Chains A and B, each alone.
Chain A
Amino acid sequence: MLTVYGVELRSRLLLGTARYPSPAVLSAAVRASGAQVVTVALRRESGAERAGQSFWALIRDLGVRVLPNTAGCHTAREAVTTALMAREVFGTPWIKLEVIGEDDTLQPDVFGLVEAAATLVAQGFEVFPYTTEDLVVAERLLAAGCRVLMPWGAPIGSGRGLNNPHGLAALRAHFPEVPMIIDAGLGVPSHAARVMEMGFDAVLLNTAVAQAGDPVRMAAAFAQAVEAGQAARAAGPIEPRDLATPSTPLPGTAFRG
């Protein structure tokens, strides 16, 4: 079980709800993934169209917990206001805190992130900060009151996997007790399995599933990969070696001596 802010989660796969070909495919993908948490957002609502109302009804029907985000916010102030609005609409203290600092990579503005995290924690939020693998930033986020970290694998939507596996491994090793969810940049299930084998606690996906040729099948594949990676980590992988070690016992080998 993964425990975040006192909530036990059986599934270690969190799923985004954007960019699916249709609402029906979104629903089917969430079910196929086994995810118990999905990310959602707030956007401007037209009084004439009210598109958000039907989306919210669909999510509620899935019976999953929601993790609202502050996507699109470029300052701490915008992120805090968006979080306050999200808490009212979604009825949860959880917030996936994003403060974007750079448009090409959607890299977090870690200064604004720490500032917003401190403000939100003081107002009773349970913050899931979208951050980098930077140890100092992680330390500041934890000091601000975050109890979960969400380091990126690679830029959002890139499908690259892990851009800096050594930095992420160092982050994992430095804070062994902090739940960490790799968020963003994963492309294929093997990336997710690797993340779990490295000892991370969960993964958050969106584009890799939503934009797959068959999102429902891909959601199921990711679920299997996360489970396999978690099981492998728990089973204790062997240490890599540079030279061969015979797996078949040498004593009794024919033609020797």
Chain B
Amino acid sequence: MKTTRVLVNGAWRETGAADLGAALCDFGYGDSIVSTAVNGEFVAATARTRTPVTEGDRIEVLAPMQGG
């Protein structure tokens, strides 16, 4: 299986997923409430399955957290 190396929240990971939606499942996010950005650009939840994962992508996966 072809794997792709991507930077997820600052850590290098490998995935066999072809799109962002599948990659999130691969990385353990499952049905978590998260928001995503790829290479600094917001990717809406509805667009994840049509967003390809490519070598070297910088993926941010953010969730609600305490804030002031």
Residues of A within 8 A of B (CB): 16-20, 26, 39-48, 50-53, 55-56, 59, 68-69, 71, 77-78, 81-82, 84-86, 88-90, 156-157, 206-207
Q: How far is the CA of A19 from the CA of B34 in the complex (A)?
A: 22
Residues of B within 8 A of A59 (CB): 64
A47 touches B61 (CB 8 A): yes
Contacts known (A50-B32, A88-B44); A40 close to B66, Cβ less than 8 A: yes
A90 touches B64 (CB 8 A): yes
B35 touches A86 (CB 8 A): yes
Residues of A within 8 A of B12 (CB): none
A42 touches B35 (CB 8 A): yes
Q: How far is the CA of A157 from the CA of B24 in the complex (A)?
A: 35
Instruction: Among A18, A20, A45, A82, point to the contact of B32 (Cβ < 8 A).
Output: A45
B68 touches A71 (CB 8 A): yes
B67 touches A71 (CB 8 A): yes
Q: How far is the CA of A79 from the CA of B63 in the complex (A)?
A: 16
Which residue on chain B has the smallest CB distance to residue A206? B68
Residues of B within 8 A of A (CB): 9-10, 24, 27-29, 32-37, 40-42, 44-45, 60-68
B35 touches A88 (CB 8 A): yes
A89 touches B34 (CB 8 A): yes
A40 touches B62 (CB 8 A): no
Q: Which of A45, A55, A56, A78 has the most CB of B within 10 A?
A: A45
A52 touches B68 (CB 8 A): no
Contacts known (A44-B62, A81-B42, A85-B42); A53 close to B67, Cβ less than 8 A: no
Which residue on chain A has the smallest CB distance to residue B24? A47
Residues of A within 8 A of B36 (CB): 85
Q: Which of A47, A51, A89, A157 has the most CB of B within 10 A?
A: A47
Q: How far is the CA of A85 from the CA of B63 in the complex (A)?
A: 9
Residues of A within 8 A of B66 (CB): 16-20, 26, 40-41, 55
Question: A45-B34, A59-B64, A81-B37 known; 16 other A-B pairs, CB under 8 Å?
Answer: A18-B66, A41-B64, A41-B68, A42-B64, A43-B65, A44-B62, A47-B28, A47-B61, A51-B63, A52-B32, A52-B34, A81-B41, A82-B62, A85-B37, A89-B34, A89-B62
Q: How far is the CA of A88 from the CA of B47 in the complex (A)?
A: 12
